[in-house]
Amino acid sequence: MDIEKVEGLWMHLHWLTVLAEQGSYTAAAARLGVSKAAMSQRIAELERVAGVSLVQRTTRSVRFTEAGQRLVENIR
């Protein structure tokens, strides 16, 4: 694995922890200074790489799946 892939993975994980802290895509995107669409795409990419759903999306908030919650806890 090259350094760029590792850095990309760390960025994805950072965004996931910000999402967990903020509780919504809108708030997390604002915190990171990115669009809500970019935030959603980054988390979807992480889910593809992980091969598992990490987030249950609702209209107003975010709930983490069991796998997502474990990942966030291990990152922190």
pLDDT reported for residue 6: 62
- Count of the separate structural domains present in the chain: 1
- For residue 56, the domain's CATH number is 1.10.10.10
Q: What single letter denotes the amino acid at residue 32? A: L
Strand partners, 55: 64
**pLDDT tens string for the chain (76 positions)?**
576 776 777 888 999 999 999 999 999 999 999 999 999 999 999 999 889 999 998 777 789 999 999 989 888 7
Distance between CA atoms of 18 and 32, rounded to whole angstroms? 8
State pTM to two decimals. Answer: 0.84
Backbone phi and psi for residue 60, each to the nearest 5 degrees, phi listed first: -120, -20
Strands 62-64, 55-57: pairing kind: antiparallel
Residue-range definition of the domain harbouring residue 34? 3-75
